Structure 1
Amino acid sequence: MTTRTVIVTGANAGLGLECARNLLERDDSWHVVLAVRNPELGTAAIAELGAPERCSVIRVDLASLASVRDFVTAFAAAGLPPLHAVVCNAGLQTTTTKFTADGVEMTFGVNHLGHFELVTGLLDHLAAPGRIVVVASGTHDPQKFTGMPHPDYTSAEDLAYPAADASADGRRRYTTSKLCNVLFAYELDRRLGRGARGITVTAFDPGLMPASGLARDYSPAMRLVWRIIGPMLRVLPNVNTTRTSGRRLAALAVDPAFEGVTGRYYEGVKEIRSSPDSYDEAKAADLWRTSERLVQSSTA
């Protein structure tokens, strides 16, 4: 019998699917909500996971703040066991400039703003002890060699509404959105009293996962190159399969070993320091204030 619920965004494939699989395998008391954009793919994922009685699919399109609010309403009405964990996993990387239904740059909108609205909307439903895990990336840290452009955080306003002559480098927008993920996790932890309310917040770097699907928006030629070189990268440090990283992500969400751990950043199972910029409270406050304004204006 399930007694606790965990929500995993983007749980129909890749890291999210493997996280859901491990959650189901490690403890029979958990009910897993697959928060996915395409319910048909979510239903297929449940069939693959093999525990339909312990899974639910609720649609959410993180590129639409209205859809995120609909998700929160649907979850509250679903009659599921109390919510004790939220895993903010879904993400994308684009190569062209795109915008969400709310007119916000797509990478920032999905990777950060959609999750901001989701988590803040779920806080009243999150029971203590509860955990929030935000999937970030080592690419947020310019001191690490990742082969990706360094993040460029000027202001959240600039990220949401880039100037017409701004760089269209989708990879830099991705790394900057991952910095936003860490800034958000730390600021949320501060606002929740650093665990005083019984809710903990951690950020997680799953490492490079060649099979994750993040390159799906690349050109055909670049996808071919990625398919060829991806498997070769597994000999390098912090290059993992989605199964390995999914197991580690699930542990942060529910394993007793991480009880009470909050405001921390993990590279796999190892706690490390995140980038210097990620501890910049002025940047975090700017990101929070702007995110609040953006979600409020979407309801006007």
Structure 2
Amino acid sequence: MSQRKQTVIITGGNSGLGYECAKKIAMDDKNYFVVIACRNGAKAKKAADSLIQETNHTNITTLELDLSSLASIRNFASNFSKMDYPPLYALVCNAGVQFIDKTHYTKDGFEATFGVNHLGHFLLANLLLEQMTHSGRIVLVSSGTHDPLKRTGMPAPVFVDPRILAYPDQSSSNEAISLIGRRRYTTSKLCNLYFTYELADRIKQQTEKNITVNAFDPGMMPGTGLAQSYTPFMRFVWKYILPALTLFYPNVNTVRQSGNALAALVTDSKHNQTTGKYFEGKKEIKSSELSYNKGNGKRLWKASVELTKLINTETVLEESNKHS
């Protein structure tokens, strides 16, 4: 149990994995102040009210955040700094999207899967670094689908120039949009790992703070909202048929099981010094061989700084050091 009041921000905490993570944290320790960050204020308020009722933990609130808008992310970081909340201890980058019906775009013109799943969280984490406590934690929700050697039923990720991921050229592709959309998802989850490892290294090198950065694979969680752009039949299968697999297959989990494991990466004292690691549920494992390509990680970082207009990330880390 934490000895002082601290704030935990959970993106997409209004439903699914994020909701269950928030609930576990709130139930286990009354000293945590939980902020549900999502773009729909009404849904966030409903989730917060439900969490308060379920956990009898009153320090749960909401703050608007649209990860598809760089302006919204900047507003969130600015607004958070002005709130009278306890010190920021943890950021859980949980929100994610997957589109297989057509190409969607963010408000800034990025392909939405890459824009939300990677760029949005990249900017958010960097903007919040200087506000984090000395021993803070950042957890990014990745996915086992990033690993081409795993039989997940998803296409292998294809990492190319990040600018092409942000602004894909579709004119010459004869592939089905459903395949393209699923590949964009697995590639964004690979990007989550590149970001995890690169940020963990940069924090160790450039700041005296002991902020840890780890990635998390929740496994397959049938029934969640990730299949919203699927066909009606596939949504039915996802919601009502596939949940039965949780009884028979490894790493096919209920949302509650994965939510509890994600919460442990935020609260468990055994992870005080754990950084730059990858967890499948509560088990630390190796991510794919491709995910440890440092050159790709550095290229992604450089392009992400430019795409999000993060003026100077080294300056952000230096400011974080000053506030420690």
TM-score class normalised by the smaller sequence: over 0.9
Alpha carbons 1:63, 1:109 under 8 Å: kept: yes
**Counterpart-to-counterpart distance in 2, 1:211 and 1:257:** 31
SS of equivalent to 1:192: helix
Alpha carbons 1:85, 1:254 under 8 Å: kept: no
Specify the code of the residue in structure 1 equivalent to 2:168.
P
* Pairwise CA distance, 1:98: 0.9
1:187 to 182, 195, 198: 198
1:281 to 290, 294, 299: 294
Q: How does 1:52-201 map to 2 (within 5 A)?
A: 53-95=58-100, 96-165=102-171, 166=173, 168=177, 169-193=180-204, 197-201=209-213
**Counterpart-to-counterpart distance in 2, 1:297 and 1:19:** 29
**Counterpart-to-counterpart distance in 2, 1:297 and 1:99:** 20
Alpha carbons 1:2, 1:28 under 8 Å: kept: no
SS of equivalent to 1:217: coil
Task: Tell me the C-alpha RMSD between the 2 structures.
Answer: 1.6
SS of equivalent to 2:204: coil
2:253 maps to what in 1? Answer: 240
The alignment's TM-score, normalised by the length of structure 1, stands at 0.96
1:19 to 15, 18, 21: 21
Specify the code of the residue in structure 1 equivalent to 2:91.
V
* Pairwise CA distance, 1:118: 0.3
2:6 maps to what in 1? Answer: 4
**Counterpart-to-counterpart distance in 2, 1:297 and 1:182:** 20
2:226 maps to what in 1? Answer: 214
The CA deviation string for residues 211-234 of structure 1, in whole angstroms up to 9 with x for no partner, is: 221101112122123234312321
1:261 maps to what in 2? Answer: 274
1:270 maps to what in 2? Answer: 283
Alpha carbons 2:105, 2:112 under 8 Å: kept: yes
**Counterpart-to-counterpart distance in 1, 2:229 and 2:60:** 29
Q: How many residues align?
A: 298
Gaps of 5+ in 1: none
The alignment's TM-score, normalised by the length of structure 2, stands at 0.89
SS of equivalent to 2:287: coil
**Counterpart-to-counterpart distance in 1, 2:228 and 2:245:** 18
SS of equivalent to 1:233: helix
**Counterpart-to-counterpart distance in 1, 2:310 and 2:216:** 30
Gaps of 5+ in 2: 312-324
**Counterpart-to-counterpart distance in 2, 1:85 and 1:11:** 13
SS of equivalent to 2:124: helix
* Pairwise CA distance, 1:52: 6.1
SS of equivalent to 1:208: coil
Alpha carbons 2:223, 2:238 under 8 Å: kept: no
Alpha carbons 2:223, 2:240 under 8 Å: kept: no
Stretches (4+) displaced over 6 A: none
Larger deviation, residues 162-171 vs 244-253: 162-171
Specify the code of the residue in structure 2 equivalent to 1:31.
F
**Counterpart-to-counterpart distance in 2, 1:53 and 1:202:** 28
Specify the code of the residue in structure 2 equivalent to 1:123.
L
1:170–1:230 Cα change, 3 Å: same
**Counterpart-to-counterpart distance in 2, 1:2 and 1:219:** 47
The CA deviation string for residues 61-105 of structure 1, in whole angstroms up to 9 with x for no partner, is: 000010000100111111100001000000010011011000000
**Counterpart-to-counterpart distance in 2, 1:176 and 1:132:** 21
**Counterpart-to-counterpart distance in 2, 1:130 and 1:174:** 28
1:295 to 298, 305, 308: 308
1:123–1:242 Cα change, 3 Å: same
* Pairwise CA distance, 1:3: 1.1
**Counterpart-to-counterpart distance in 1, 2:239 and 2:21:** 23
**Counterpart-to-counterpart distance in 1, 2:93 and 2:151:** 25
